[in-house]
Amino acid sequence: MDQEIQKPKLVINSLYKIFGKRPKAALSLLEMGRSKEEILEKTGQTVGLQAIDLEILEGEIFVIMGLSGSGKSTLLRCLNRLIPPTSGKILLDGIDIASLDEAALREIRRKKLGMVFQNFALLPHRSVVENVAFGLEVQEIPESERLEKARQTLEMVGLSGYEESMPDQLSGGMKQRVGLARALASDPDILLMDEAFSALDPIIRAGMQDELLDLQNALNKTIVFVTHDLDEALKLGNRIALMKDGRIIQVGTPEEILTAPADAYVAQFVAGVDMTRVLTAEGVMKPPEPTVWIESGPRVALKLMEEHGISSIFAVGKGKTLKGLIVVEDAVKAAKEKKSLAEILITGTPVAAPDTPVRDLIGTVATSQYPVAVVDACNRLRGVIIRGSLLGALAISGAPDEEEST
């Protein structure tokens, strides 16, 4: 993800959900440090969520992941109060959803929140376009306007031409596109997606994931996506929260979760992931130090290389823009022959964007005699990848500590 500063869209403070009629009894046992199982046994109450503190940022895809029963759906459904929390705050743009009256809640649900369900939840006796327009109908938007909006949204999800079809004439993937279109039709700020692709065949599912990423590039919504599937979480999430027993064990980018698991549970959860698919150039690069200013002389370059024990150095211009590479032999010659750095600059050495997956870099790094420069869209040098650091990063992330994993 780009390093731009994003503001929180949803802030969750100290959120608890106890299922059952005696939540207080359960809460006080929780405070005493009792486990979910003990509390169920003693009080008959089920701990759905405990002590959830989270910030979900504007424009991110935030994935909630965990095994069955870990509390993912409960957390998601608390966000639009399909499940009323027992205590705590859920601030959407500063407004506490947990304490809204019914009318205000309805208003926020209509305008700011869209939800996509695993089982599609389409109205069987309405056509595709009517299903998509349904949310707008509830908002009392005139018929012609809502049908027009529904058609546009259907086009966005690739379903033009199916407006008049009935849900049972569609495949699973198409049904879920309708579900997505219905959620998007009212242009909500936040999309809540509960195992939205889990009922689909693997190939259709992968296609829907790609489309969601494309749509997100265009729409820039805040998306909260629940899944029990690690691959899906790693593919979709800008950040991921891993849940267990109603708690959040770790929140981080896919790379953070993979390379710095918070505990043995997370390490075990992510063991076996193909790191080259998930790690990016940015995650394995070294800081671009030292570099040499393009207008300085070969002796400066030589001194820097000697001090750092390196045999080549990137030359940069204003704003750290990449100019090219200087190698030690050329610099030695240039110093003797009084040549400038510009005259011995090697250009066209391999470069990579920060978000390039490591999988796409391994070949280049293995075969190039030069380091790979990681540059941003403005050609600024952000980092350097050499064979050793790449292999090192893969080795570390692939093999969590003995102690941690026991």
Binding piece for ligand ATP, criterion CB under 6 A, among 66-74, 96-104, 206-214, 273-281: 66-74
CB-facing half-sphere around the CA of 173: CA atoms within 13 A: 15
**Size of residue set near ligand ATP by CB under 6 A:** 12
DSSP-derived secondary structure for 1-56 = -------EEEEEEEEEEEESS-HHHHHHHHHTT--HHHHHHHHS-EEEEEEEEEEE
- Compare residues 86 and 312 and give the one whose CB is closer to ligand ATP: 86
The one among 8, 59, 69, 172 contacting ligand ATP by CB under 6 A: 69
We find the least distance from the C-beta atom of residue 229 to ligand ATP, in angstroms, to be 10
| Closest of 99, 52, 100 to residue 75, by C-alpha | 52
Residue type at 226? V
- Compare residues 12 and 322 and give the one whose CB is closer to ligand ATP: 12
Examine residue 74 and tell whether it contacts ligand ATP (CB under 6 A): yes
Spatial distance between the Cα atoms of 241 and 62, rounded to a whole number of angstroms: 8
Examine residue 244 and tell whether it contacts ligand ATP (CB under 6 A): no
Examine residue 265 and tell whether it contacts ligand ATP (CB under 6 A): no
The one among 71, 135, 298, 400 contacting ligand ATP by CB under 6 A: 71
φ, ψ dihedrals at 56, nearest 5°: -110, 125
Is residue 226 within 8 Å of 76, Cβ to Cβ? Answer: yes
Cα radius of gyration (the chain)? 26
Examine residue 73 and tell whether it contacts ligand ATP (CB under 6 A): yes
Binding piece for ligand ATP, criterion CB under 6 A, among 61-69, 154-162, 208-216, 319-327: 61-69
- Compare residues 228 and 387 and give the one whose CB is closer to ligand ATP: 228
| Closest of 295, 310, 308, 280 to residue 382, by C-alpha | 280
3-state secondary structure of 172: helix
The one among 13, 46, 356, 379 contacting ligand ATP by CB under 6 A: 46
- Compare residues 73 and 176 and give the one whose CB is closer to ligand ATP: 73
Examine residue 23 and tell whether it contacts ligand ATP (CB under 6 A): no
**260 alpha-carbon distance from chain centroid:** 16
Binding piece for ligand ATP, criterion CB under 6 A, among 8-16, 21-29, 63-71, 175-183: 63-71
Q: Which residues bind ligand ATP (CB under 6 A)?
A: 19, 46, 48, 66, 68-74, 228
